[in-house]
Amino acid sequence: MIPIYEADRLEDLPLFDRAPQAEEDVGAAVDAILADVRARGDAALREYTRRFNGADLTCFEVTEGEMEAAWDRVDEDFRETLRRSADNIRRFHEAQVHQSFVLTDQPGVVLGQRYTPIEKVGVCVPGSPVAFPSTILMNVIPAKIAGVREIVVVTPPDQAGAISPEALAAAKIAGADRVFKLGGAQAVAALAYGTESVPKVDKIVGPGGVFVAAAKRKVFGQVAIDMIAGPSEILVVADGKTNPAWAAADLLSQAEHDTHAAAVLVTDSRPLAEAVQKEVERQLMDLPRRDIAQKSLEANGKILVTKDLAAAVEAANRIAPEHLELCVDDPFALLPLVKNAGSVFLGRHTPEALGDYFAGPNHTLPTGGTARFSSPLSVDDFVKKSQFIYYTREALNEATPRIADFAEREGLHGHAQSALSRTEEKGE
């Protein structure tokens, strides 16, 4: 049974274990996989795909024929769901696009900043129990909007060497350029180093299990990464008017993800806390992934009772959850108090699942308390900024004494001379 705690003192809150997934336990294995793929390329990929996925593949890339066949196998109703979801995601992320700028407010000086897309991006998509179409939409569409030239999706095949038709339909609608039947650390290695068939990319994004997380951390520097995604989390702030069945369902929606997932309710109502506790037990009985959800709740499930809703939000800020629901009468009054959360769901009719699949904001979010300093995946993750500077001779002559003095105070005579030499030079 999910425990209830009186949270009188925030410093004494019983928080769940926020340590990263046990990457250290798989570190040596991941090192070996990375080195092997780097050395042997596709041959290593075939071995690992056979060993970990049970699929014997000669070609990893999904063919155009496979894409068309998958499209035909998906019913039109779900295709329309994918289209509408993609439209919502596209609309939200198009609003994130930044504009380059130029400053010319000083005589003889031009300053500016340019946004340019990353050239090649790899998208990792988990395959448990099947490849997630939602993850494909959420990662590919912002990259497309940013102008990424080549977007490569990797996701593990089933034992027959296939990827779900729904996932491939999502890849088609999102605009992925290439899809490969690869998963785990070996997929990360292929994207980071390149193989005979898999292109080397500049950045790797997308969630995954502990092997993917460890591999992403280890190849960072060789390529860029978005974040190290940990187990899923939800924190529901609810008042006494909240339907306990709804709150319980929302907690279970994350608990069913993973035995390491975390589900927390924070409320100012003891009766609601007790009602949700009972409702969670009742709904667990009918949940197909009951065993996973139960282990998750036993390890990281909690109900905290605070003196008021302001204290509830303060507790949420301290926990910094991936998903934060404000199931209260006036969620917009509490929203300004929220400092640390990946995505905030406002009101009683905005379940976390809405954000996972349909609303438009990204569902790739900071976990493990990293919402204190990290942001959801966005168009910003697929562009880079560069600056430019232009000075006329006259403008440089005016600035040079200060430049040279600054450099000399830092002990860098050569820096000083690079500016001074131009004031002594007669030519252009």
The residues assigned a catalytic role are 322-323
Both structure tokens of 130: 């099947």
Q: Residue 304 in contact with residue 10, Cβ under 8 Å?
A: no
How many Cβ atoms are within 10 Å of 362's Cβ, its own excluded?
Answer: 24
Per DSSP, which regions of 147-206 are E strands?
A: 150-155, 178-181, 203-205
**Which of 189, 187, 93, 190 is CA-nearest to residue 148?**
93
Query: Interior CA angle at 40 toward 49 and 181, to 5°?
Result: 30
Residues 6+ apart with CB under 8 A from 152: 120, 121, 122, 123, 176, 177, 178, 179, 180, 191, 198, 199, 201
Per DSSP, which regions of 80-132 are E strands?
A: 101-103, 109-117, 120-124
For residue 79, the SS3 value is helix
CA–CA separation, 139 and 123 (whole Å): 7
Eight-state DSSP code of residue 19:
P
Eight-state DSSP code of residue 364:
-
Peptide bond into 107 cis (omega under 30): no
Per DSSP, which regions of 25-148 are E strands?
A: 101-103, 109-117, 120-124
Full DSSP string of 233-263:
EEEEEE-TTS-HHHHHHHHHHHHTT-TT-EE
Q: Residue 341 in contact with residue 371, Cβ under 8 Å?
A: yes
For helices 244-255 and 290-300, angle between their N-to-C axes, nearest 10 degrees: 100
With b meaning 16 or more CB within 10 Å and e meaning fewer, what string describes 225-262?
Answer: bbbbbbbbbbbbbbbeebebebbbbbbbbbbbbbbbbb
What amino acid is encoded at 293 in this protein? A
